[in-house]
Structure 1
Amino acid sequence: MEDIPVILLAAGSSRRMGGVDKLMQIVDGQPLIRRSAEIAGAVGPVIVALPPAPHPRYAALRGMDLDVVFVPDADEGMNASLRRAVAQVPVSARAAMILLADLPELTSDDLRAVLRSVTEHPDKLIWRGASSDGVPGHPVIFDRSLLADLAHLTGDGGAQAIVRAHLDQVHLQPLPGQNAILDLDTPQAWAEWRKNQKS
């Protein structure tokens, strides 16, 4: 699956965190953004979209083998990152995996499970992680034929419009628990999650 790069979306501004960067929160002993890059790097080459430098996220990723994409228009929303990152996908890639950087329970095994579904369900165009009870989440793999559509998205809606347009071509791959959907967008959510981790 080396021909399926992972696009790690990490250019957002954590608007709901009250000035705290959620991607710099410590998870498993390291900043969340580095943890996310590590699990991505375990399954394929990584293209990471980052806000303009200087930014603490660059230091958190220092020394890693990543293709860094700068997103000067990150304030537009997620699709600015998608457009710029998709432009870096090699022409030889059969597909690309889109991964949000703020999923603290997702693992490299989860990413591998979604990657395997590409081979196991070759009749589909989109392969997507889901919670154990079937709620669609991340990561999401898009066939090469859909990358041009990703490259023309605007705003902050992500790739949902493309997914909706191809619902009959989507395979949902259940992952353990809430791994595919658990993101923490507020200090309160982080505090509650840490409390549950300790218990």
Structure 2
Amino acid sequence: MRRILGASAVFAMLAIGMAGGVANAAGESEGTEVAPLVSSTVVVNEVSTRGVNGQLDEFIELRNISSQPQDISGYLVRIYSPSGILTDTIVMPAGTILQPKFTAGQYAVLVGQNFSGTISDQTNVIPFTLAGVDGIPTTGGVTVQNLAGTKLDGVGFSNAVLPAREGQAATPESAATDQLNASNSRNILSTDTDNNRQDFSLQLRSAGQ
């Protein structure tokens, strides 16, 4: 079960983030996408863009939220800059099959080169190295696309990341959250309303869990 960060810790790190200009800045558009399509198969379930080991202490967790196995061989996980420019693409290896929700193997955990922490379900652990020195940008975004090039899901950490953002942007991580071992994660049911601010919250890292 995921453990939500204590209220005092969350308020403290949000205050620090706002002071440093990391949190949503005044004047950004809070618009939502037109006619969003809620994901029913594979979602971006958890993302950490940084950690105690620096900018490359990162991971992306995909989850099968359906009742049927999902073969995601060849699916694309795309990384976007804070301005919404595509910077990197990770291709899922052949034979990557996510098992049904609530069973072993339901996750794929993509880990950066300086990843710290543990992975509970190690059925599908996929190392990656990104071209940018910062890896996944703290105020960038992540999407997953199927073989037809259809975007299945995405999360943006600033409102300018239009290709990844759904609804309002999720709260980005910061130097304060590094020390709290935090990540952006959905709830235990992986609820998807196509509003990143509502669906994601800063919680303790729980890769493959």
- Give yes or no for TM over 0.5: no
The structure carrying a bigger helix percent of its residues is 1
TM-score (norm 2): 0.28
TM-score (norm 1): 0.29
